[in-house]
Amino acid sequence: MKRISNLVVIVIAPLLMAALWMDKQPSPKPYQAPVLVPPAGSVPITGREVASRDSEPKNPLTPNPASREQGQALFAINCAMCHGQSSIERGPVGKKLKPPPPGLDHDLIRERSDAHIFNAITLGFGRMPPFKDKLTPHERWDLVNFLRVRK
């Protein structure tokens, strides 16, 4: 009998204690990307970091009507389902996401550089998928030019 009670204390008690702590673990909610912050002083290894503004890619396309029109067509196909046709209302998929994707209004876009917007489209951002393999660089720059004038 003493052997059974020792078994309970040695084997089963720690398992029961672990079960009490399991519900207190941090876990992301559905559609929520986990926020992982690199430790202070760490060296970036993703290759996405930009050392200075001078090393950012420059928009090689002149923001002309043809480029904006192409960007508008690409936006309707690839982006509007989440971000919406206008910045006022999200698209049908975006309405179902919690929190909803940004509306890409003029103030938000004005605060960002062309390179920042291009990189967000290329590499993805948060829950947004990367479009590096879906759109050519030229098409991504057309999208940047369109977003600058989008209402």
Does any domain span residue 17? Answer: no
Does any domain span residue 50? Answer: no
Does any domain span residue 24? Answer: no
Predicted confidence at residue 77, as pLDDT, reads 94
pTM of the model: 0.63
The CATH number of residue 75's host domain is 1.10.760.10
Which residue segment(s) compose the domain that 117 sits in?
61-149
Beta carbons of 98 and 31 less than 8 angstroms apart:
yes
The DSSP element (H or E) to which 119 belongs, if any, is helix 114-123
Beta carbons of 106 and 151 less than 8 angstroms apart:
yes
- What are the structure tokens assigned to 91, written together? 């698209």
Does any domain span residue 76? Answer: yes
Cα–Cα distance, 8 to 6 (Å, whole number): 5
- In tens digits, the chain (151 residues) has pLDDT values of 667 777 666 777 677 776 676 677 767 677 766 667 777 887 777 666 555 666 678 888 888 899 999 999 999 999 989 988 887 888 889 888 888 888 788 788 888 888 888 999 999 888 889 999 999 999 999 999 998 888 7
Does any domain span residue 30? Answer: no
Beta carbons of 91 and 81 less than 8 angstroms apart:
yes
How many other C-beta atoms can be found within 10 angstroms of the C-beta atom of residue 50? 13
